[in-house]
Amino acid sequence: MAKTIATENTAMQIGSTAGKLMRVVIVGHVDHGKSTLVGRMFHDTGQLPDGKMEAIQEMCRKRGMPFEWAFLMDSLKAERDQGVTIDTSQIWFHHNNRQYVIIDAPGHREFIRNMVTGASNADAALLMIDADQGIRRQSRHHSYLLQLLGVREVAVAVNKMDLVDYDETRFRKIETEYKSYLKSIGLEARRVIPISAREGDNVASASERMPWYDGPSIIETLAEFELSEPPVDRPLRLPLQDVFKFDDRRILAGRIESGTLRTGDELLFSPSNRTARVATIESWNTEQAPKMASAGLSVGITLDEQIFVERGEIASHLTDPPIETNVLHLRLFWLVDTPMEIGASYGLKLGPRHLSATVEQIERVIDVEALSDHAATEVKRDEIADVVVRTNQLVALDEHDNLPRTGRAILHNRHRTLAGGVISMGNYPDQRKQITIRSSNITKVVHSVDTARRIAQNRHKPGVLWFTGLSGAGKSTLAMGLERRLFDEGYQTYVLDGDNVRTGLNANLSFSPEDRSENIRRVSEVAVLLADAGLIVISALISPYRADRDRARDAAGGLFREVFIKAEIATCEARDTKGLYKRARAGEIAEFTGISAPYEEPVKPELVIDTNDRDIDSCIDELVAYVRANFKIPS
Amino acid sequence: MNRLDTLEAQSVFILREAYATARPLAALWSVGKDSNVVLWLARKAFFGRVPFPVVQLDTDMELDEVYAYRDQYTKEWDLDLIVIDCPPESEMDPDLPPMTRAAARKSAGLASLLEGDSYKGIIVGIRRDEEATRAKERVFSPRALSGVWEFRDQPPEFWDQFATETPEGAHLRIHPLLHWTEVDIWRYSQRENIPINPLYFTQNGKRYRSLGEKNITAPIESNASTVDEIIAELETTRSPERAGRLMDSEAEDSFERLRTSGYM
């Protein structure tokens, strides 16, 4: 036995430059034997440093307890005194020419934040389950967190088989149950191994006490884990960390998170939307300046033009740029005692971009035990939830499923990280698609009749009354009623109706999030033209996204009045004048607002018309009174 | 990317984050192999310069070769060097074991630096594989003004998002080499041709594996006279790197006590 270890030792390449490092985190419920396994692995492969065994023996003797393997990793005195791992630790391990960092993560519920810290650095994970206790809360919680953190290489160790008399039936039951749980959250266990870390069964060598198991040991399983390569062939993402001006060079510094860049490439910076070409890739103490650089490298580049860009922007190529948005979905894990609340604002960090975000909606809290969802008004510590947040500025990002490294964010307050979350867009559109001015050689011409003359002749000011609300809330009915009454009173007025414009001006648009936004952009620009002609324009579109309505408000300047035609979804569904709700419920209409697509209520509308329990005439009376008060010029 | 490229890219990323978010910033320079690599990586990150002051906590007990190296490369690398005279041993906590008390002078020197200037970030070249409590460190580790390490309540740190805000008076310890091993340091020093202090090479059958003050550090038995020989030696040794640092093993928790009260 001693001879085998010696042979292995000479074959080992400690710190070999060629050997790539595999980082393996060991996770699971408290007391299921994580730290013990690490101690055992080191001992059984002959890698304990000189004097370590004796030091551990001495620590145990002083505490009057039997030999404790966990003391190898539990380096804090408080950890040894209480027999519990508090914080994550790392230790280097090597076997058969492969280098490992073994990351020990605490299993106690109190220290989830430390488990996340450890696991986020891992390429692979070993999930420990106590054969006697079976699957416990942290067994499930930790695997769900691994999934969110992006660890896909996993194996399961069913530990303490000695406590269940090495019983195969017990093992198979846990194996079946846990494999099925992992599968349901999108993870697949490479191996499920029955072990006893304390006794050394199936850790470094096959166990004679479990002849019914013919799979690999823990050590052999480590060798099977595969390393993922940096995503050099994916779209380019270079988030800027800083811009240096130490000398006459202006160097943009950052780490390439995906893709490859070359000198001469035209880069697009988001969200500023400026472009320039890569002049040089800078370096220091290298033989020659590189001509290309790929994912994983920290680089510095200079540009052919001096454009203003700053920390937090993402450089990409012109094709496959990141999404630009100010609203996004996060599936997040909440780490602190104070719950997350709707309406609360937090700091949001997305790579080097730091901004502020408000929680608009808590869509669901996910029960990691039952894998069921429930509605909630807050997210409590250690819960996993789907939320919608709105940022105070436009931000460039990716969906996590597409590019993980630019598709995740953390929430924080001044001194503390509160949560981590992975990004998806759902029905929210990419706002990059709504860049308005594409051509630059335009000269504006001045009209021969100005606004003041039109007001004087019409005896009223122009305006845009932007009706927004659910389908069936009464937008078209009230708009047409108001148009008639205003016309009769001598106003110049016209209704832009959502359905009507789709038969002509917007006939080429679908109901996808991007096309819905474009639909609204065109209507708002037409409204601006008609208002410029002196009219009171009434638009009647669902216009579900706040960002789109804000853009319409920007386009119309001071002429814009947001009118929220308010009705409960149940009221609208009961009316169902166009029969659309019935079809949406039957699944015949995809992305139907209020059913399968979001409606974002106005924050500060100029007018709210609640149509739930009112007749049409009283609503129109109120609208007419509003127009008289705000637009009429007294004679 | 080979392993050294990966290590370098991560450390450069960390240094740039520190420079962008934790200023005023300074780096501790013990003039040992690790902090020499930190300064080298800073020159990589900032294209030939170290854009922050470099602080030596001087106990006046370093070996002569350490002072010679410091003076030569302060000039050659154009460093903004600050030398802090550490308070005498008689001012240290008398409850500490003797060697530990000698080492505590450096924590006291650092505390006096922080009292004088309001640094927000202090770069320190410690590594996880050196010592078991260092293995539990964060890359950006928040410290109270006293320098105390709240190891029971460290912040979460994931996806390369580091603590950037600190309460008034507190600072961040920034650890760009946390993920490196001792052999990585030597292989990188060799690849980059970083000047090596002669104390690391054998003289009369002994060499220093880790440089500390001469009163509390012992050389190890070794015939290694080149970096290649040092690497070959490390590949077969099973004795820990800090075996020659006498304060580490005075009591079960002597190094932990040093670190929680502000030691690097």
CB B164 within 8 A of CB B22: yes
Q: What is the mean pLDDT of residues B191-207?
A: 95
Chain B residue with the nearest C-alpha to that of A351: B161
**A75:B132 CB<8 A:** yes
**Rounded Cα–Cα distance for residues A342 and A329 (Å):** 14
**Rounded Cα–Cα distance for residues A531 and A455 (Å):** 11
Q: Which residue has the higher pLDDT, B1 or A469?
A: A469
DSSP notation for A201-235:
BTTTB--TT-TT--S--HHHHHHH--PPPP-TTSP
- Out of B2, B12, B152, whose CB is closest to A17? B2
Cβ-Cβ contacts under 8 Å between A and B: the total is: 164
- Out of B1, B13, B48, whose CB is closest to A284? B48
B12, B33, B41, B47: best mutation site toward chain A, by most A Cβ within 10 Å?
B47
**Rounded Cα–Cα distance for residues A543 and A520 (Å):** 7
Q: Is the confidence at residue A6, as pLDDT, over 90?
A: no
CB A607 within 8 A of CB A565: no
**A49:B234 CB<8 A:** no
CB B65 within 8 A of CB B197: yes
- What is the phi/psi pair of residue B199, to 5°? -60, -25
Q: Is A245 on the interface with B (CB under 8 A)?
A: no
A8, A12, A16, A17: best mutation site toward chain B, by most B Cβ within 10 Å?
A17
CB A203 within 8 A of CB A41: yes
Q: Tell me how far apart the terminal alpha carbons of chain A are, to the nearest angstrom.
A: 108
Among the listed residues B131, B136, B132, the one whose alpha carbon sits nearest the alpha carbon of residue B149: B136
Q: Is A87 on the interface with B (CB under 8 A)?
A: yes
**A417:B135 CB<8 A:** no
A59 interaction partners in chain B (CB closer than 8 Å): 252
**Rounded Cα–Cα distance for residues B233 and B213 (Å):** 24
Residues 6+ apart with CB under 8 A from A287: none
- Out of A76, A116, A282, whose CB is closest to B133? A76
**A238-317 shares its CATH topology with A324-426:** yes
Q: Is B158 on the interface with A (CB under 8 A)?
A: yes
Mean pLDDT comparison of A1-5, A107-111, A204-208, A431-435, highest-scoring range: A204-208
Write out the two tokens for B243: 């075996």
CB A259 within 8 A of CB A232: yes
Q: Is A272 on the interface with B (CB under 8 A)?
A: no
- Chain B, 25 to 44: residues with Cβ < 8 Å from chain A are 43-44
Residue B56, beta-bridge partner list: B83
Among the listed residues A108, A104, A170, the one whose alpha carbon sits nearest the alpha carbon of residue A141: A108
**Rounded Cα–Cα distance for residues A427 and A12 (Å):** 53
**Rounded Cα–Cα distance for residues B122 and B28 (Å):** 7
The CATH number that domain A2-224 falls under is: 3.40.50.300
Residue A66 C-alpha, separation from nearest chain B C-alpha, in angstroms:
18
Please give the pLDDT value at position A19. 62
Q: Is A114 on the interface with B (CB under 8 A)?
A: yes
Q: What is the mean pLDDT of chain A?
A: 89
Please give the pLDDT value at position B241. 84
Q: Which one-letter amino acid corresponds to residue A191? A: R
- Chain B, 180 to 199: residues with Cβ < 8 Å from chain A are 181-184, 186-187, 192
Q: What is the mean pLDDT of chain B?
A: 91
CB A162 within 8 A of CB A198: yes
- Chain B, 45 to 74: residues with Cβ < 8 Å from chain A are 45-49, 51
**Rounded Cα–Cα distance for residues A230 and A235 (Å):** 12
Mean pLDDT comparison of A232-246, A421-435, A621-635, highest-scoring range: A232-246
Please give the pLDDT value at position B145. 67
- Catalytically annotated residue among A35, A120, A524, A543: A543
A514-517: long-range contacts at Cβ-Cβ below 8 A with a sequence spacing of 24 or more? A514/A429, A514/A430, A514/A433, A516/A429, A516/A544, A516/A545, A516/A548, A517/A429, A517/A431, A517/A433, A517/A434, A517/A545, A517/A547, A517/A548
- Out of B135, B157, B159, whose CB is closest to A90? B135
Complex prediction ipTM: 0.94
* CA distances in angstroms from A346 to A83, A365, A604, listed in the order given: 36, 19, 21
Write out the two tokens for A114: 């430390």
Q: Which residue has the higher pLDDT, A445 or A236?
A: A236
Q: What is the mean pLDDT of residues B242-246?
A: 79
The count of residues in chain A is: 635
B256 interaction partners in chain A (CB closer than 8 Å): 75-77
CB A88 within 8 A of CB A114: yes
**Rounded Cα–Cα distance for residues A446 and A101 (Å):** 70
A170-199 pLDDT tens trace? 999 999 999 999 999 999 999 999 999 999
The SS3 call for residue A513 is helix
Among the listed residues A516, A353, A346, the one whose alpha carbon sits nearest the alpha carbon of residue A434: A516
Please give the pLDDT value at position A289. 87
pLDDT band at A424 (very low <50, low <70, confident <90, very high): very high
Please give the pLDDT value at position A186. 92
Please give the pLDDT value at position A18. 44
CATH architecture of A451-631: 3-Layer(aba) Sandwich (3.40)
**Rounded Cα–Cα distance for residues B95 and B145 (Å):** 22
Q: Which one-letter amino acid corresponds to residue A505? A: L
A251-255 vs A298-303, strand pairing mode: antiparallel
Q: Is the confidence at residue A20, as pLDDT, over 90?
A: no
Q: Is A18 on the interface with B (CB under 8 A)?
A: yes
Each domain of chain A, given as residue ranges in start order, spans 2-224, 238-317, 324-426, 451-631
- What is the phi/psi pair of residue A495, to 5°? -100, 130
**Rounded Cα–Cα distance for residues B182 and B241 (Å):** 8
Q: Which residue has the higher pLDDT, A243 or A430?
A: A243
The SS3 call for residue A363 is strand
Strands (E) located in A304-352: 314-317, 323-334, 340-341, 345-350
Determine what percent of chain A is predicted with pLDDT higher than 70. Answer: 95
Alpha carbons within 13 angstroms on the beta-carbon side of residue A174 total 28
Mean pLDDT comparison of A59-63, B39-43, B238-242, highest-scoring range: B39-43
Q: What is the helix (H) or strand (E) element at residue A546, kind and residue range? A: helix A546-556
Q: Which residue has the higher pLDDT, A136 or A439?
A: A136
B158 interaction partners in chain A (CB closer than 8 Å): 116-117, 120-121, 149, 410, 417, 420
Please give the pLDDT value at position B236. 83
Q: Is the confidence at residue B147, as pLDDT, over 80?
A: no
**Rounded Cα–Cα distance for residues A172 and A156 (Å):** 12
Q: Is A121 on the interface with B (CB under 8 A)?
A: yes
Chain A residue with the nearest C-alpha to that of B170: A415
Q: Is A464 on the interface with B (CB under 8 A)?
A: no
B76-106 pLDDT tens trace? 999 999 999 999 988 888 888 888 888 889 9
10 Å CB burial of residue A286 (0-12, 13-18, 19+) is: exposed
CATH architecture of A238-317: Beta Barrel (2.40)
**Rounded Cα–Cα distance for residues A468 and B96 (Å):** 72
| DSSP letter assigned to residue A112 | H
Q: Is the confidence at residue B150, as pLDDT, over 90?
A: no
- What is the phi/psi pair of residue B157, to 5°? -145, 110
Please give the pLDDT value at position B251. 78
Write out the two tokens for A354: 């730091």
A15 interaction partners in chain B (CB closer than 8 Å): 181-184, 186-187, 231, 234-235
**Rounded Cα–Cα distance for residues B179 and B7 (Å):** 8
Domains and their CATH numbers in chain B? 3-180+250-260 (3.40.50.620)
* CA distances in angstroms from A38 to A80, A110, A154, A635, listed in the order given: 15, 21, 16, 89
Q: Tell me how far apart the terminal alpha carbons of chain B are, to the nearest angstrom.
A: 31
Please give the pLDDT value at position A514. 79
**Rounded Cα–Cα distance for residues A323 and A321 (Å):** 7
Phi-psi region of B27 (alpha: psi -120 to 50; beta: other; left: phi over 0): beta
Q: Which one-letter amino acid corresponds to residue B92? A: M
A275-321 pLDDT tens trace? 999 999 999 988 888 999 999 999 999 999 988 899 999 999 999 99
pLDDT band at A442 (very low <50, low <70, confident <90, very high): low
Among the listed residues A316, A190, A327, A344, the one whose alpha carbon sits nearest the alpha carbon of residue A256: A316
| DSSP letter assigned to residue A72 | G
Q: Is A292 on the interface with B (CB under 8 A)?
A: no
pLDDT band at A434 (very low <50, low <70, confident <90, very high): low
Q: Give the fold, CATH level 3, of A324-426.
A: Elongation Factor Tu (Ef-tu); domain 3 (2.40.30)
Residue A303, beta-bridge partner list: A278
Q: Is A297 on the interface with B (CB under 8 A)?
A: yes
B16-73 pLDDT tens trace? 999 999 999 999 999 999 999 999 999 999 999 999 999 999 999 899 999 999 999 9
- Out of B10, B12, B155, whose CB is closest to A417? B155
Is residue A543 flagged as an active site residue? yes
Q: What is the helix (H) or strand (E) element at residue A456, kind and residue range? A: helix A451-458
Q: Which residue has the higher pLDDT, A406 or A556?
A: A406
Q: CA angle, A393 as apex, A359 and A388 as ends, to 5°?
A: 25
**A20:B3 CB<8 A:** yes
**B166:A415 CB<8 A:** yes
Give the rounded distance of the alpha carbon of A42 from its chain centre. Answer: 38
CB B46 within 8 A of CB B38: no
